[in-house]
Chain A
């Protein structure tokens, strides 16, 4: 599994995202730019410039026409993928931490940071997937959670709910039409650092600084699986076609020094999704892993590090062949 190393950023990576077909890989970092690569060979297709601050989040619409980005310059920008032209900008009072299209590509979810007297807020904007269209200025819905900072968010299936992760380790479920809080549960002991859905959005994985990752049922927020790691986790993804999850994180530089640990634990870790065991690790990054994205066809994954590098991996045969005895005994 020899990776392709992408050196398109000068600063730590913040998010990676494949498009629906998996042929394009988008990356955002603290260096104010968005890069897009061909995922099979790592060739850079383009760089989108225009943000005035660190970028926190990126997402692609399901037709691969428009990319949305959220940044510390308090804006969301929409970009035409083909030309790299900025086609719309929304302004907010604080930084935008998350952007995500719904499954139809006609709504965009965003969360803004709680700061300077402003509450962290979830917004949903209507989207027209047309680079010449005028996008609506006003959100369809907007709600806050003053006592409980949002860190991550995502759409459920059928645009039914918005699932949010929080600074205190809890996970909430809001009605996506009314913004009403439906359910809230304690999941982690520390900050929720990532929240990624399975392909059909019926379950999702959360990662936390508490060194664990969990799989939750979208419908009732029941914790179904727990994965225990030996370092704070920043990111986790569910792999299609194989029953694995891939987790990334690592000790912060300051903690490595104070504990005297030479081992920063900067590997991508593979766990079995059903049996919860760690089954493998992949070295490479020189700092914590900040973001992992899995190819939508399950053929590989990409990791983005605090070291400023993106590593794109294509899975080899042993990855697909690996089975537990019980999986061999009871083939699906």
Chain B
């Protein structure tokens, strides 16, 4: 019975983490799209190394 309860609890935890992960990713996707539109292709200097962790060469 204990094992059954434990496995139920762990199922719930996994379900909750999946929900949190999906919520976060959906939010990031929306924000990134919104910001990209607002920036209209202009990436400020401070963010230019963020894409790949190296210098942006143009």
Residues in A lying within 8 Å of B, measured CB to CB: 20-22, 62-63, 101-105, 157-158, 199-200, 202-203, 219, 224, 240-241, 243, 274-275, 296-299, 324-327, 329-330, 332
CA A104 – CA B39 in complex, angstroms? 12
Q: Are B47 and A200 within 8 A (Cβ)?
A: yes
Interface string of B17-29 (1 = CB under 8 A from A): 1101110110100
Q: Are B44 and A275 within 8 A (Cβ)?
A: no
Residues of B within 8 A of A103 (CB): 44-47
With A200-B32, A202-B35, A332-B25 in contact, do A296 and B20 touch (Cβ < 8 Å)? no
A-B contact pairs, 28 of them (CB 8 A): A20-B48, A62-B46, A63-B45, A103-B46, A103-B47, A104-B44, A105-B45, A157-B38, A158-B38, A158-B39, A200-B35, A200-B47, A200-B50, A202-B35, A224-B27, A241-B53, A274-B21, A275-B17, A296-B50, A298-B53, A324-B17, A325-B14, A325-B17, A326-B14, A326-B18, A326-B21, A330-B21, A332-B25
Residues of B within 8 A of A157 (CB): 35, 38
* Interface of B (DSSP majority class): helix
Residues of B within 8 A of A62 (CB): 44-46, 48
B6 in contact (CB, < 8 A): no
Q: Are B18 and A297 within 8 A (Cβ)?
A: no
With A158-B38, A298-B53 in contact, do A20 and B46 touch (Cβ < 8 Å)? yes
CA A241 – CA B53 in complex, angstroms? 9
With A158-B39, A202-B31 in contact, do A105 and B46 touch (Cβ < 8 Å)? yes
Residues of A within 8 A of B54 (CB): 297
How close is A286's CB to chain B, nearest CB, in angstroms? 33
Residues of B within 8 A of A219 (CB): 31
Chain B minimum-CB-distance residue to A158: B38
How close is A32's CB to chain B, nearest CB, in angstroms? 28
